[in-house]
Structure 1
Amino acid sequence: MIVNHKALNRIVAVALAAMISACASNDEKEDTDPVELVEISESVKLREVWSNNIGDIDALRYAMLKPGIIDGKVIAANSDGDVYAFDRTSGKRLWRVDIDQSISGGVGVGLGLAVVADYRGRVVALDLNTGEQRWTTQLSGEVVATPAVGSGMVVVQTVDGKLLGLDASTGEQRWRHNTQLPVLTLRGTSSPVISAGLVFAGLDNGKLIALSATDGITRWEQRVAIPQGSAELDRVVDIDGAPLVRGELVFAASYQGRVVALSRDEGRGLWARDASTNHSVSVGAGQVYLSSADGSVHAYNVGNGQILWTNSELLRRQLSGPTYFGDVVVVGDFEGYLHALDPSTGRFVGRTRIDRDPVRIPLLVDGDLLFALSDDGELVALTLER
């Protein structure tokens, strides 16, 4: 149904949710089944340009191995330790490297580097052009977030609540920011973002912070979500999606909390709306797009946060975060489908299937190409046709 509104530990959370679902009655279980897809009238085509299989992504440990795109190259990694570089346009493989550890944090790119991390807290920086190892640094905690590269630094967020600034040339630690974690959190960690000399990071306590990239000094801190309820499950308010910086604004959303727009330099709140997601938001055509934890997709006015439409035809289909591509909004689902939505109405305008495994890793847009990576390791470049 399209509604137009224009007028403890991380694994425990997953286990408890599964137990609650398993105890549901048959009548209740009907309401937990994913919505079946119905035929749509397509006005756009998501056409495959090229595809390569890079090997499995560890979905059981919720590895979000987001590829990186820079300088005409797509850098992607699998959970077995393989890192690949492909030509952006043709999909031709340029190099492949095995770091000999199971990769857990997706590929950060910049400053001539491709940076990955493993479950043991090791960060590995590779030469962007050759794949040759530049440096490796051992951290104290597991890394499941994509490292950020920029302003002479590699910034990594660990699952034990630390943000660490590493010198991009040597891997030497320059600063550290500690955060006290809640009793219970989701499996996953927000990936930091570097923009205009600042590091923006979403935290498991529902806060968004901005630090100086060079020395880690806190510039501002803003609460996105306030824990509610007496049960620990009700008080989970993680920000697992990466913050999104657009011009003078930064956008973020939390689980069981809110989606917010803040000023980039001061953290001043522009607007906030109730929301629940473990993904990043996307911006385009004057709107902010969000895929909720329940599988609904929402559009908000970028200036005041007014909700413009909601699409509830993908409920419980375990959606990826949305991305604005060309002039459509695209989300992936648990059966390997990509759905294209009209940004003005939220109605379906196109659909394609790239795999039979889930597409939950963040989608990437680079110019006229959309890149999607499935849990089966199918890396696909697509273009939009009318």
Structure 2
Amino acid sequence: MSFLSRAAGRAAAVALAVVLAACASNEEKEDTDPVELVDITTSVDLKEVWSRNIGDIDATRYAMLQPAVSAGKLVVANSEGEVIALERNTGRRLWETDLEIEISGGVGVGLGMVVVIDYRGRAVALNLEDGAELWTYQVSGEVVSVPAIGAGVVVLQTVDGKLLGLDATSGGELWTHNTVLPVLTLRGTASPVIVGGTVIAGLDNGKLIALDARDGIPRWEQRVAIPQGSAELDRVVDIDGAPVVRGDLVFAASYQGRVVALSREDGRGLWARDASTHQSVAVGAGNVYLSDAGGSVYAYNVGNGQIVWNNNELLRRELSAPAYFSDVLVVGDLEGYLHVLDPANGHFIGRKRIDGDPVRIPMLVDGDLLFALSDGGELVALRLERH
């Protein structure tokens, strides 16, 4: 779930939502309920390999603390300040560091380090081997996204429109890129990615930008969505999902905007289709997959953007970003279910409930394992089995 934020007037937006809800008829209220799940015929199972509870995740404040994996270690964090490294295959705890902060952004992993950030903007780097603190840096704004680590830098994206490049060894600031934000934006922020010495980031103004990782100099900028309408709510076009890079292509999608495929080299647009999401897309089997804001799941042809299929049987179930895993597609929902879809046609082929709390944090795919983390802190490692 995404939440609206605004430098001034946030209370007015909340009040407006309350008034609209109060004025709704009983029939309209029924239309806002999540659709009920129906029985399906399964041909695959998501088999639990191991699970453990890692502690509370403050999802109401948009702490999307996605797990990360590196060198056989799965690193997770909770909102109470605990960063935990687990053995990927077994879930055995390797180390745990209690930072005694309210973690809001993370988990970033790379270059032998782990980076997380708290709500007050304090970034902390830890040694991946033993969890020892390496350095800290005070950010000028709040961070609720995953730091990108690579090419000798750590890149942070703040909710007030800044991208910062820090020296990965010392934590010293190397460069800053500022963006003018729209009047009204969604609560979340896209996580930047680093590929081949280039930082690619989605912005709250509906643009995708590429910067040189060494000095922050822009390489290209491309608009994904154009604000429409006269009301500020109608003009919200945030990109809140991390861009996805596959080879020479970059895929991204915005809220109340479009899903696009761009050239990684120069940002040239290859195709674009109308869409609305605050999640990342997934790519696999020749398709780009998207969970839209209403709860429909779409597949687009990776080459031309034509719609291959759409599944609207999960409406209003607050879906997670899709994950392409072991030749199937998986999405989580507000009741802790993972739904498995056939990527060729969008039909349901499996389902598993991992918790009673929502699964809205982006899932992590690593080889033959899928890692899913619920808002309640239930972390599950899963392997696909076919009947």
What is the TM-score when the length of structure 1 is the normalising length?
A: 0.97
Is residue 14–residue 186 contact of structure 1 (8 Å, CA) maintained in 2? no
Question: CA separation in 1, counterparts of 2:153 and 2:16?
Answer: 38
Letter in 2 for 1:272: A
2:348 aligns to what? 348
Question: CA separation in 2, counterparts of 1:140 and 1:365?
Answer: 32
- Cα drift, residue 20 of structure 1: 2.9
Q: Aligned to 1:60, what secondary structure does the other structure show?
A: helix
- Cα drift, residue 365 of structure 1: 0.3
* 1:218-233 paired onto structure 2 within 5 Å: 218-233=218-233
2:253 aligns to what? 253
Question: CA separation in 2, counterparts of 1:303 and 1:35?
Answer: 32
Instruction: Deviation per CA, 1:68-102: give whole Å up to 9, x if none.
Output: 11111110000010100000001000011111110
- Cα drift, residue 66 of structure 1: 0.8
Question: CA separation in 1, counterparts of 2:369 and 2:15?
Answer: 37
Letter in 1 for 2:368: D
2:65 aligns to what? 65
1:3 aligns to what? none
Is residue 117–residue 124 contact of structure 1 (8 Å, CA) maintained in 2? yes
1:289 aligns to what? 289
1:228–1:333 CA distance, 2 compared to 1 (3 A) = same
Question: CA separation in 2, counterparts of 1:360 and 1:384?
Answer: 20
Question: CA separation in 2, counterparts of 1:14 and 1:133?
Answer: 40
Question: CA separation in 2, counterparts of 1:261 and 1:14?
Answer: 34
1:166 aligns to what? 166
1:176 aligns to what? 176
Question: CA separation in 1, counterparts of 2:39 and 2:23?
Answer: 33
1:370 aligns to what? 370
- Cα drift, residue 21 of structure 1: 3.3
Report the more deviating stretch, 273-282 or 11-20. Answer: 11-20
Gaps of 5+ in 1: 1-7
Does 2:72 correspond to 1:75?
A: no
1:127–1:18 CA distance, 2 compared to 1 (3 A) = farther
* 1:50-129 paired onto structure 2 within 5 Å: 50-129=50-129
1:84–1:100 CA distance, 2 compared to 1 (3 A) = same
Does 2:39 correspond to 1:9?
A: no
Question: CA separation in 1, counterparts of 2:221 and 2:156?
Answer: 18
Does 2:131 correspond to 1:131?
A: yes
Instruction: Deviation per CA, 1:330-352: give whole Å up to 9, x if none.
Output: 00000000000000010000000
1:279 aligns to what? 279
Does 2:382 correspond to 1:382?
A: yes
1:4 aligns to what? none
Is residue 341–residue 348 contact of structure 1 (8 Å, CA) maintained in 2? yes
4+ residue runs over 2 A deviation: 10-23
- Cα drift, residue 60 of structure 1: 1.4
Letter in 1 for 2:113: L
Q: Aligned to 1:200, what secondary structure does the other structure show?
A: strand
1:5 aligns to what? none
Report the more deviating stretch, 337-346 or 19-28. Answer: 19-28
Question: CA separation in 2, counterparts of 1:33 and 1:20?
Answer: 16
2:40 aligns to what? 40
Letter in 1 for 2:42: E
Question: CA separation in 2, counterparts of 1:109 and 1:252?
Answer: 22
Is residue 370–residue 382 contact of structure 1 (8 Å, CA) maintained in 2? yes
- Cα drift, residue 22 of structure 1: 4.0
* 1:164-243 paired onto structure 2 within 5 Å: 164-243=164-243
Q: Percent same amino acid at aligned positions? A: 73
Backbone CA RMSD of aligned residues = 1.1
Number of residue pairs matched by the alignment: 379
- Cα drift, residue 58 of structure 1: 0.4
Is residue 14–residue 187 contact of structure 1 (8 Å, CA) maintained in 2? no
Question: CA separation in 2, counterparts of 1:19 and 1:336?
Answer: 30
2:151 aligns to what? 151
1:198–1:19 CA distance, 2 compared to 1 (3 A) = farther
